[in-house]
Structure formats: C-alpha cells, structure tokens
C-alpha cells in the first residue's frame, strides 16, 4: 500500500462500507496504512446498554512531547437511494477529475490526506521531534456515545496527553483555504408540552385547546432575539422544529400539544444560563396566556435533551498560526477563522487540548454522488504536511 498517495488511501477507505455503526473494514485498512510508518495501533471497542458496540482506533508515533493529535471518523451516513448514484457509493470511481463515494469528503478524505502527509513528512525529515497520534472513531455519524468520548477517556486513563488537535472535518464552503473552524456554538434542545382538556370541536366550552397555549409559548421562545452575536460568534438562534398534537380527527380538540426546539448559542450563554432564560420566557408567556377566556393561565412541562453541547473557542496561537500559515503557503489564500456550522467531535476534544478543524470542501457531504476533486486531495495533503512541520517548529519554541 502506497500510504504517501492520498488518492490510493482514499480509494481503499471508500471501498470499505463502513455505514455507521459498522466498521466495514475501514479501521483495519487505516491500521494497515499506519503500522508501516511506525505507529503503535490499538483497537478499542466501546459499549453501552441500548446502543450498538463501536470499534475505534488509536495510533501513536513517538513517545515524547510535544504531542499532536489528528482526530476524525471512518463511519459514514447511509447511501440513500443507491440507484440514484452516478457511480457506486463504495466504488471509488474517478470521473471528470473527481472521486466518487460515500465518505469522500466526510471524512475519509481528510484521513487519507493526513496519513499521506505524515508519510511524506517522515520520508523527508524522519520521525517528528515529538509524537503524532490518530484518534479515529466509528460513531461520529451515529449517537456519538461509544466513539470519541469513550476513546478519549480510555486514552487519557492510560496516560495519553495531547498538546493540540486537528480534526479533519470538511470545513471549506467553496474552495480549499476558505475556512478554519476555531470553535463551535453550543447546542441545546428541549420539548415543551401544554396540557389541555380533550373535547368535541363543536362544544369548545367543554374543552381546553392546548394548541392555543403552545403557539403562545413557542412565539415567546423565538422572539425577541437572544443576543446580537459576539466578535467570534453569530447571534444565538432558536428554532422550533416540530409542533405535535397526535390528533387524527379534525373534529377533536386534542388533550395536549408539544413543541420541540433547538438553539445554537454563542459564548454569551452557558447551558445553565440559557435554560434559565428559556424558562423565564415560558413562565412569562404562560402567565400572560389562557387556553380560553376566563380560564387559568397556561401551564407547561419542559424536558431537556440529555446531552447538550457546550460552546467553545480555541485561542491557541501556535496551533491557529501554524494551520493558517500552512493554508496560505500552499493555496495563497488567507482562511477565515470561523465558529459557524453545526457540532462536531471537537466539542469533546476541547476538554483535553486546544482543537481546530480543517478539511476538504464539504458541498457534497451526505448527498447522493458525494465526491471530491482529485486535485484537492493533493492540495490538502500538502497543507497538512506543511502544518505538521510548522506546528512542531512552533511547539519546540
């Protein structure tokens, strides 16, 4: 296997049908790439009741510091309608300068390029003056319970410590060099339920419609805005994503109505302060609303999601400067430092070391005909190789 070639690496990984939670041979393929480079590779299976067992991989080259971690995932989302694909989703076919396959950009491509970059660095410079590790999960596209969280806990318990981490998620909107993620907004979800009295729609005086109440409460959640944003983050934004009454009859006033919401929040808030603000809004709206004239104020129940994501911002200048400088040196473009988008496994890694994210262009991720430009694989490998040299140079200062 020619680990120095990112195209060959990616073809090997795409041909492994590692639809979450299946390992699909992808971790074994990565292990075969890393061992000849001198990495000590360990496979860790994590389990928890009610969730599928997940195979993960941890590999380390070197025993001393400074220690750079590359993190990512080999699991991919389902292919959807396979007949709609122009090329087989696990074929790694190349057409018109692009390689097709599920995971091409999200994110087997990033893994393939970083492995090639490490191989090139070793070929030119010998082993790094420190350590490089791969922390690769098979659960990023799934519930994210038996993947990065438990692999980090396992590694830390055996004495692993890291000075910085690069996550290879596809961060670039249009072209390589567009964007580095230096943080992520937090994410909090919940379900609000208003209870009424079921009855016949023709006899409303004998019933209480919870729909009236849930509309008032959801409006209070969305307006006014939570904040105006900060220097590093967009304004916090709450979206009501469902309103449900579980009602199959048009002439029946339902007994209850529930609304689910999700808010992506900036560093104006913590999870606790945000919960307090949401409850205050609901309390005010409930006190000011009734299900029907002359009836008591609206009462509600709220259930929070079990695993909110906390907002974070990386301020490690050596890490950010090394990556930004590498991107600009290879592409001639100065990347935007961003905190936009959804969550990633960086939200777990930030508790162990400074973390940034940079990978391929993400326009086709999770789509039919997911694909990556062959030229981008070579460019990203050069960026990663330059970054490795620059980071170890900064870390040694």
**β-strand 355-357 against 164-167: which pairing, if any?**
parallel
Q: Is 223 a catalytic residue?
A: no
- What are the backbone angles phi and psi of residue 116, rounded to the nearest 5°? -65, -40
The one catalytic residue among 5, 23, 55, 75:
75
The one catalytic residue among 5, 23, 55, 140:
140
Q: Is 140 a catalytic residue?
A: yes
Taking the C-alpha atoms of residue 295 and residue 161, their distance in angstroms, rounded to an integer, is: 60
Which amino acids are annotated catalytic? 75, 140
């Amino acid at each position: 296997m020619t680990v120095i070639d990112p195209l060959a690496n990616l073809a090997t990984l795409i041909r492994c049908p590692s639809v979450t939670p299946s390992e699909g041979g992808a971790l074994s393929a990565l292990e075969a790439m890393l061992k000849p480079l001198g990495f000590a590779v360990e496979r860790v299976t994590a389990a928890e009741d009610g969730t599928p067992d997940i195979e993960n991989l941890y590999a380390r080259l070197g025993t001393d510091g400074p220690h750079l971690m590359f993190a990512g995932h080999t699991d991919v989302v389902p292919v959807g309608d396979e007949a709609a694909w122009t090329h087989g989703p696990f074929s790694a076919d190349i057409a018109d300068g692009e390689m097709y396959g599920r995971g091409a950009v999200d994110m087997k491509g990033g893994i393939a390029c970083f492995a090639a970059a490490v191989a090139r660095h070793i070929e030119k410079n010998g082993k790094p003056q420190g350590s490089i590790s791969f922390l690769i999960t098979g659960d990023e596209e799934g519930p994210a319970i038996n993947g990065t969280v438990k692999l980090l806990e396992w590694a830390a318990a055996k004495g692993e410590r890291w000075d910085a981490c690069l996550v290879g998620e596809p961060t670039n909107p249009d072209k390589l060099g567009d964007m580095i993620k230096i943080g992520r907004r937090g994410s909090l979800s919940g379900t609000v339920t208003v209870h009424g009295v079921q009855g016949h729609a023709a006899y409303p005086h004998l019933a209480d419609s919870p729909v009236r109440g849930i509309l008032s409460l959801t409006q209070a959640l969305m307006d006014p805005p939570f904040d105006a944003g900060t220097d590093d983050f967009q304004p916090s934004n709450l979206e009501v994503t469902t309103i449900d009454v579980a009602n199959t009859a048009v002439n029946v006033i339902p007994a209850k109505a529930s609304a689910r919401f999700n808010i992506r929040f900036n560093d104006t808030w913590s999870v606790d302060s945000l919960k307090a603000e949401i409850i205050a809004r609901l309390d005010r709206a409930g006190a000011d609303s009734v299900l029907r004239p002359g009836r008591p104020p609206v009462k509600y129940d709220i259930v929070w999601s079990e695993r909110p994501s906390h907002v974070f911002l990386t301020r490690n200048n050596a890490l950010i400067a090394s990556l930004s400088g590498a991107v600009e040196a290879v592409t001639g473009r100065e990347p935007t430092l961003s905190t936009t988008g959804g969550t990633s496994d960086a939200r777990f890694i930030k508790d162990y070391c400074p973390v940034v994210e940079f990978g391929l262009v993400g326009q086709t991720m999770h789509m039919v005909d997911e694909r990556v430009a062959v030229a981008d694989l070579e460019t990203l490998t050069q960026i990663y190789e330059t970054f490795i040299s620059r980071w170890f140079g900064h870390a040694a200062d």
